[in-house]
Structure 1
């Protein structure tokens, strides 16, 4: 690799106490009209305008002879006047957001995505970039290290020093973690993998290595190859938080420390299953979205929204395979997987918005609806992650049914990889649907018209019965009830409900959502109301359902609440709870042929080790 770089960036966590990064950009041969610099407004994989430029605190520029005064052109763009010879731009950035999407710096660690820190030199997008990473000043940071998937120049492994990127798109696709962290490692198909874990934790690292290797190998087996020569999981553990973001050679993860495994023996608990599912999801994105890309996002303009109807496939299919991979590689058993599947079905069914917005529209409007949710969102939108995963499930089982087991969603994903992932050709807006019909050997247009553009519930019962699984919907037994896998379907007693959801972790019963066409909506209860009493008895977040159920025996009930500082009284006629909680049951009398179909669907494989 040549050391002749057109652009050089130097990053230093200059003031951890004040949460300020110092960045220096050196441009050796600026054009005669000066430099135009801009910072992205959003980050690939997270479809919301985030306006990273608002965190730039100060910016200056100079050449070898004079100071150059940058002129701000809009909210994220500056013009630096012509200079003589090399121009150096220095700027400081506030980093206060602890998430996988932005930048965070304090005295414990430093983390950033390139979209948060690296100014783009307009017209120089394809220039190679050198990145010099420096530690914070002071003796207290001498033991800090660096974890990033950027390629090293003179830096030692996990060390400060010089790295490089092929161009600006490559530059912003490698998040960086600096600080004190633990590193675990393993290999898949002889490709080195690492996980850098930041934050206090008590993880059983040996079990984590074994399970991660199995999950990654399972995905590699599906596609037949690994498209990278290295991979890094950047994991930050905290008391409470969750998130993930995919990159071309790495992923950023945020999780509660209690989600990491503490003991090697025994089944994976709920938190650990969730963490493995998160790792599985972001790793599957190595193929699906980072290389098999929507045509609309292939040449992303990071300064404005880019609309596509295809996120149901790129996020929804990925959400389907994240848990499916766990059972296929043996990290969880069949029963645990079906329990997760039932819970996802319940999450979709519990929101009336599924009857209002199609999954394709959810994808297209993600900028203004899915990533900008409010108190009415459960009534207005559907998740292209959660419902997209159910569409993928239905498509998989339908392809297996129509081809008598000869074709499945696995074959579609391999075809997408061959035609789009390996070639770099973007997937057209209806390209997944067209290719699915070709692979299945039958016209799936009617299926996709209903599943993607319609708002009716998917007819999953018969498809699940094909693989020996019975499905039913029942009323919720409480606010946290999501159903699951059961031994038998019990008789259900009708449940009377208000149709409200309360703010989580609240000491007071403050209404977060009022579901459409519910008893609460008809009575006039509104989001933000603080419930006080039901028929004269004090309401708490824990006893609301029980109070309503008891009072409902007498018919109409009286609910008292505060709206702002005004006492309100509502005459409420409770209504039966909706049938929106999914239970699945293994059909004991299923034939050997049906059981074989289920085994083929959930079949375990060794993967590429």
Structure 2
């Protein structure tokens, strides 16, 4: 394999969280080569600067002579005299406990290629260069196993270590297969000819068999929708943690992060708690991405530049549509009942209703500005931006209803997804910005422009209250019942007066964490980080603040704030609570059930 790039990676020091990597560059016509690491990872649209974790980089010729290596910028190194071949060695500091980076400790090693494998630009840009990856498991005495969707060629044991050898067609494939090596609980099941591997990290009490049984109909639903999965094996790699949440899609796998005690344990009943529903929804979401974003993708993402931001306005299609299908699939497969799904829809619309930024930023702007606004949110972001996940899912719901109404229920978003797959995904053709308009016109004979122009290019609210009537639902509004009320359900006990901030207990009072533009607490002159000490003559805490506020009979009440050591006194205007909380009632169960199933007229 002398004409191939070869990487060797070994978890060198668990206590110091260091991987050792050796890159063997074959002899070539390139006397000068440039080594570079991606600045971001596809699926997570933020500059991460993974190169900050590269240390102790050095280069040597085939006869072990030191070759000068010079850093050109934050993520690029230049090496001369490379024509005879090179061996580049470096260390990767791996202590990013997330699905995006690399993490190494006593229980497992996990890494994405974007964090660990330097790209040799002269080889990857000029032609397709096969790549060999040798992953050394030096923790066999701790019963570590290796899990990855990379194509394995061989496993060789030597001096107590196991070397797993893999091959990739090119660098883009290399960085699209995360690797887990450690103490794992692994189960395999087969659906429609595809082997699914479900993996949990560490020793745990989780009922893995139950999870796999619940995943089977989800996998089948997605495969049936797209008439197959273009992979023979697919991996759900789950990093269990104390408190964390995340998922990142790859072509033949997904990396997930989830709290271990939010999953069902072996001794528990068949009741599906809300936290476990969220995990199944996460799995559904990331698997759906195997088609929608990994293969159906914007033109810009066919061959993206991983060194800098790649601006696009279509993320509402890729994350929004996927966010509709993740929970909808749970309802279609009977994992949750229609009533629970109606509650989830209510929670999603409530989240959108409470985002004041929806009146300031369009969904296409949200997609375009993901790099600087969505992925870099602060305490005031909800006043200025809207989520292309959340609003994108609501638009997808409304688009499905609109297609059904304009076609006398002959076409739906299911047929639209299938067209996206057959015309773009299978053919590896990127989607243009007007892809939804074009497909609906060409294949459904529906001009969807009027709907989409409002939905994606303006900040107007969609008329969901009238739209959902056609699928058997009624939209209801009420005020919040409490600070942690996320909507979705009716509640007789609701708040009477508006406050306008989220908060948490902090000793003698509550600290203000986020504030809503124009709300009573903002009108009172409060600022982020202030500690609200008293309402009238009473000291406040997280438990009594709303009760004290609702008990006010006058038009305002005195408040006392603590701001960086200063006492601030002001008056809080008493205003009626806002009806920003949504719940749906099922008015026609037969129609709603038919809609959930995806039924269309023949």
TM-score interval for Structure 1 and Structure 2 normalised by the shorter chain? over 0.9
Name the stretch that deviates more: 253-262 or 176-185. Answer: 253-262
Equivalent residue, structure 1, for 2:516: 515
Match of 1:342 among 339, 346, 349: 346
Q: 1:304, 1:505 → 2: CA distance?
A: 41
Asked whether the equivalents of residues 60 and 90 of structure 1 are also in contact (C-alpha less than 8 Å), the reply is: yes
Q: CA deviation at 1:191?
A: 1.2
State the alpha-carbon separation in 2 of the partners of residues 596 and 223 from structure 1. 26
**What is the TM-score normalised by the length of structure 1?**
0.93
Secondary structure at the aligned position of 1:558 is classed as strand
Q: What does the per-residue CA deviation read over 1:410-462, in whole Å, with 9 as the maximum and x for residues that have no partner?
A: 00000000000110010001212321344443211010011111111111122
Partner of residue 275 from structure 1, selected from 279, 282, 285: 279
In the alignment, what sits opposite 2:308? 304
Report the counterpart of residue 207 of structure 2 in structure 1.
204
Match of 2:135 in 1: 133
Which of 226, 249, 252 matches 1:249? Answer: 252
Structure-to-structure mapping, 1:407-426, within 5 angstroms: 407-426=411-430
- Against the structure 1 CA distance between its residues 524 and 277, is the aligned structure 2 distance closer, same or farther, given a 3 Å change threshold? same
Q: 1:507 to 1:455 in 2, by over 3 A?
A: farther
CA distance in 2, matches of 1:43, 1:31: 30
**TM-superposition CA deviations, 1:440-498 (whole Å, max 9, x none):** 43211010011111111111122211121110221111111122244xx86x8762122
2:457 corresponds to 1:458? no
- Residue 402 of structure 1 corresponds to 406
The answer for the alignment partner of 2:546 in structure 1 is: 545
Counterpart in 2 of 1:169?
A: 172
1:439 and 1:465 mapped to 2: Cα distance? 26
Deviation at residue 341 of structure 1 after TM alignment: 0.9
Partner of 1:44: 42
- Between 376-385 and 534-543, the greater mean CA deviation after superposition: 534-543
Please say which of residues 379-388 and 524-533 is displaced more in the overlay: 524-533
Q: Where does 1:43-122 land on structure 2 (aligned, <5 Å)?
A: 43-65=41-63, 66-83=65-82, 85-122=84-121
Aligned to 1:476: 480
1:30 is displaced (CA, Å) by 4.3
Contact 1:146 1:160 in 2 (8 A): no
Cα 1:84–1:384, aligned 2, differ >3 Å: closer, same or farther? closer
Residues 494 and 330 of structure 1: CA distance in aligned 2, closer, same or farther (over 3 Å) = closer
Deviations 1:492-522 (A, max 9, x none): 8762122011259999622111101111111
- In structure 2, what is the equivalent of residue 497 of structure 1? 498
How far, CA to CA, are the matches of 2:176 and 2:3 in structure 1?
Answer: 18
| CA–CA separation in structure 1 for the residues paired with 2:529 and 2:41 | 32
Partner of residue 11, structure 1? 9
SS at match of 1:287: coil
Change (3 A) 1:439 1:597: farther
Question: Which whole-Å CA distance do the structure 2 matches of 1:159 and 1:586 have between them?
Answer: 57
Q: Secondary structure of the residue that 2:336 maps to in structure 1?
A: coil
Q: CA RMSD in A?
A: 2.1
Comparing 363-372 with 193-202, greater Cα deviation is found at 193-202
Matched, 1:524 2:525: yes
Cα 1:466–1:119, aligned 2, differ >3 Å: closer, same or farther?
A: same
Contact 2:297 2:431 in 1 (8 A): yes
Query: How far apart, in 2, do the equivalents of 1:513 and 1:217 lie?
Result: 42
Q: Distance in 2 between matches of 1:565 and 1:581?
A: 36
Q: Label 1:199 to 1:437 Cα distance change in 2 as closer, same or farther (>3 A).
A: farther
Map Cα deviations across residues 169-195 of structure 1 (whole Å, 9 max, x no partner).
000000001110000111111211101
Residues 570-607 of structure 1 show CA distances to partners (whole Å, capped at 9, x for unaligned) of 211132222211011011xx4xxxx54423321289xx
For 1:61-84, what per-residue CA distance to the aligned partner results, in whole angstroms no more than 9, with x for missing partners?
001241012100000000011136
Helix, strand or coil at the partner of 1:510: strand
Map 1:222-233 onto structure 2 (within 5 A). 222-233=225-236
Deviation at 1:329, TM superposition (A): 1.1
Separation in 1, partners of 2:458, 2:352: 15
Tell me the equivalent position of 1:387: 391
Secondary structure, aligned partner of 1:25: strand
Match of 2:21 in 1: 23
Q: Secondary structure at the match of 1:79?
A: strand
- In the alignment, the residues of structure 1 paired with residue 162 and residue 257 of structure 2 have an alpha-carbon distance, to the nearest angstrom, of 23
Match of 2:451 in 1: 447
1:408–1:440: 8 Å Cα contact kept in structure 2?
no
How many residue pairs were aligned?
591
Instruction: Report deviation, 1:264.
Output: 6.8
Q: Secondary structure at the match of 2:370?
A: coil
Give per-residue Cα distances to partners, 1:260-303, cap 9 Å, x unaligned: 12357433110110000000000000100000011121110000
Q: Does the aligned pair in 2 maintain the 1:258–1:271 contact within 8 Å?
A: no
Is the aligned partner of 1:599 residue 2:593?
A: yes
Change (3 A) 1:128 1:428: same
Q: Distance in 1 between the 2:448 and 2:331 partners?
A: 28
Task: Give the Cα separation in 1 of the matches to 2:331 and 2:156.
Answer: 38
Q: Give the secondary-structure state (helix, strand or coil) at the position aligned to 1:17.
A: coil
3-state SS in 1 of match to 2:223: helix
CA deviation vs aligned residue, 1:539-575 (integer Å, no higher than 9, x gap): 222322222222x323211221221222222211132
**2:154 pairs with 1:149:** no
Most deviating of 177-186 and 496-505: 496-505
Single out whichever of 283-292 and 259-268 deviates more from structure 2: 259-268
Contact 2:558 2:569 in 1 (8 A): yes
Using the TM superposition, name which of 409-418 and 21-30 deviates more: 21-30
Alignment correspondent of 2:221: 218
Tell me, in whole angstroms, the C-alpha distance in 2 between the residues paired with 1:97 and 1:256: 16
The answer on whether the counterparts of 1:523 and 1:572 sit within 8 Å (CA) in structure 2 is yes
